[in-house]
Amino acid sequence: MSTVALHQKYRPQTIAELVGQPYIKTALTNAVKYLQIAPAYLFTGSRGTGKTSTARIFAKSLNCLNTKKPTDQPCGICQSCRSIETSNSLDVSEIDAASNNGVDDARALIERSTLAPVAGRYRIFILDECHCLTGNAFNALLKCIEEPPPHVVFILCTTELHKVLPTIVSRCQVFNFRTLSIQAIVQHLGIVADAESISIDEEALTAIARLSDGGLRDALQLLGQVSLLDEDITANHVMEIAGGVTETELMSILQAISTNNTFNLLQVARVLIDSGKTPKLILSNLLQTYRDLLIIKSAPKEQSLLTGCVSYAQLKVLANHWNFETLNLSLAELQKAENYLRYTVNAAVWLEVCLLNLIPSLLPVSASKTVTAKPVDDKGHDGKLLPAVAANTANLAQIWQQVMDTAKPSNQKLLAHANLVKLQDEKAILEVTPAYLNKFESSKEAIAKMLQRATQSQQPMTVLIKTANKSSNGRVKA
């Protein structure tokens, strides 16, 4: 005997049972209650959000035989309700527009719309994936959709609203089915898991909800899949069966990074690659985790904003190892690596390089703790050096490069005509080409703020500008 899939078994049977669509639920309930039935409806939204299910429920509400008029609580047991549920109704036609998309199919549909209903009150046409209809088919339906016979209702369903002709959209009442929130999906999955006696913890339900991208059908499919493991289901089980990176694997990477353990880091990366996890998937999960760490660092109590698979407790412990700037620079490194992966022919090597670049000691100077000797100013006195700045040409060049990287593209061309030649106390000296002297003079305050961010200085900075000769490659000589 075949088993009914969870998404079919727990398909909503009334408008009130719709999950995560409160406004649509209210609007359709009132439409039925006050008999304000439009000639055509257009249901649009992402996959698995309830468009086709709502179309069937609405058809049952209009044609339920156990009431004298349309009802928002169809009985589900009369001949009309049962035939609609099994797609065998003579009055409700479910048409797959992907395979019946020509102008001849549209003409046949128009001819059928003139026939009176057999048993119910309305003849209802549900066009699933209606964006697949050709332009000519859409145009053929225009008049019929705008002014159908009094007993006809059209319900068009689509995941790609932009492909539907504007003239069709304007003739329909449009209902946008939004993707479901994590909380709504977790709540519904918990109800289904209890009903099916599936042993699964809260973190695993949250992991399923995040992997489903707001689609309840996808979430129920994955829940049915993990239920076959026949054991207490955890978030790691969910990630493994979905082909993702587990919390344990991500924690191994992050612990190796936080302890500067290069060997363990490369070993974990190699094990993940060998187990079939793609570099893009690993970087994507790391990007989510670092983003969560950044949120915990800036807003420790906002657990609802977390999106990765690493638990709040684990993240809170990890967040103590790094400061805000380090996490921010790590995110920038991950973003760069993601761009490189699109074009590289050796993705595994790029992954290893990226992971090594996340080690705090290899990040840009503003994120690492540097101990340096005190510089001597022009008058022979010792000056107090900023916390994260080393007074040598290499570090000054690195700081200036960081300022350029964080600037807007329109400003980077201007900053390329300068070099940072001195940084002492809260005073910075720039050498610029003579032609750009006036522009740099007018931008001193903005440059001072960028330098302050790059050096993590708590005090306002002063920028002094002086001219220098231009080198052959267009950059200023340091």
* Non-local CB neighbours of 298 within 8 Å, separated by 6+ positions: 324
Q: From first to last of its 478 residues, what are the pLDDT tens digits of the chain?
A: 457 888 888 999 999 999 989 999 999 999 999 999 999 999 999 999 999 999 999 999 999 999 889 998 998 899 999 999 888 888 999 999 888 888 999 999 999 988 888 888 999 999 999 999 999 999 999 999 988 899 999 999 999 999 999 999 999 999 999 999 888 999 999 999 999 999 998 889 988 998 888 899 999 999 999 998 878 898 888 988 888 888 888 889 988 888 888 899 899 999 988 888 888 888 888 888 888 888 888 887 777 777 777 888 888 888 888 888 888 888 888 888 877 777 777 888 888 888 888 887 766 544 444 333 333 344 333 333 333 344 444 477 778 888 887 777 777 778 888 888 888 777 888 888 888 888 888 888 888 888 887 777 777 788 888 886 544 344 444 3
Number of CB atoms found within 10 A of residue 279's CB: 24
Which residues sit opposite 468 in a β-bridge? none
- Alpha-carbon span 163 to 168, nearest angstrom: 11
Contact (Cβ atoms closer than 8 angstroms) between residue 43 and residue 23: no
Which residues sit opposite 463 in a β-bridge? 428
- Exposure string of 421-448, with b = 16+ CB inside 10 Å and e = fewer, is bbbbebebbbbbbeebeeebeebbeebb
- 361 phi/psi in degrees, rounded to 5: -70, -15
Which residues sit opposite 96 in a β-bridge? 128
Q: Which domains does the chain have, with CATH numbers?
A: 6-177 (3.40.50.300), 182-241 (1.10.8.60), 247-363 (1.20.272.10), 370-478 (3.30.300.180)
Residue 35 region by backbone torsions, left for phi larger than 0, else alpha for psi between -120 and 50, else beta: left
* Amino acid making up residue 284: S
Number of CB atoms found within 10 A of residue 59's CB: 27
Q: Tokens 């690659």 label which residue?
A: 273
Which residues sit opposite 176 in a β-bridge? 44
Biggest alpha carbon–alpha carbon distance for the chain: 102
Task: Tell which residue, 394, 466, 398, 401, has the closest CA to residue 427.
Answer: 466
Number of CB atoms found within 10 A of residue 380's CB: 6
Q: Which pLDDT does position 472 carry in this prediction?
A: 39
Crossing angle of helices 103-113 and 135-146, rounded to 10° = 20
Contact (Cβ atoms closer than 8 angstroms) between residue 216 and residue 20: yes
Contact (Cβ atoms closer than 8 angstroms) between residue 316 and residue 336: no
**CB-hemisphere CA count at 13 Å for 15?**
23
SS3 letters for the chain?
CCCCCHHHHCCCCCHHHCCCCHHHHHHHHHHHHCCCCCCEEEEEECCCCCHHHHHHHHHHHHHCCCCCCCCCCCCCCCHHHHHHHCCCCCCEEEEECCCCCCHHHHHHHHHHHCCCCCCCCCEEEEEECHHHCCHHHHHHHHHHHHCCCCCEEEEEEECCHHHCCHHHHCCCEEEEECCCCHHHHHHHHHHHHHHCCCCECHHHHHHHHHHCCCCHHHHHHHHHHHHHHCCCECHHHHHHHCCCCCHHHHHHHHHHHHCCCHHHHHHHHHHHHHCCCCHHHHHHHHHHHHHHHHHHHHCCCCHHHCCCCCCHHHHHHHHCCCCHHHHHHHHHHHHHHHHHHCCCCCHHHHHHHHHHHCCHHHCCHHHCCCCCCCCECCCCCECCCCCCCCCCHHHHHHHHHHHHHHCCHHHHHHHCCEEEEEEECCEEEEEECHHHHHHHHHCHHHHHHHHHHHHCCCCCCEEEEEECCECCCCCECC
Contact (Cβ atoms closer than 8 angstroms) between residue 464 and residue 427: yes
Q: Which pLDDT does position 128 carry in this prediction?
A: 92
Which residues sit opposite 382 in a β-bridge? 376
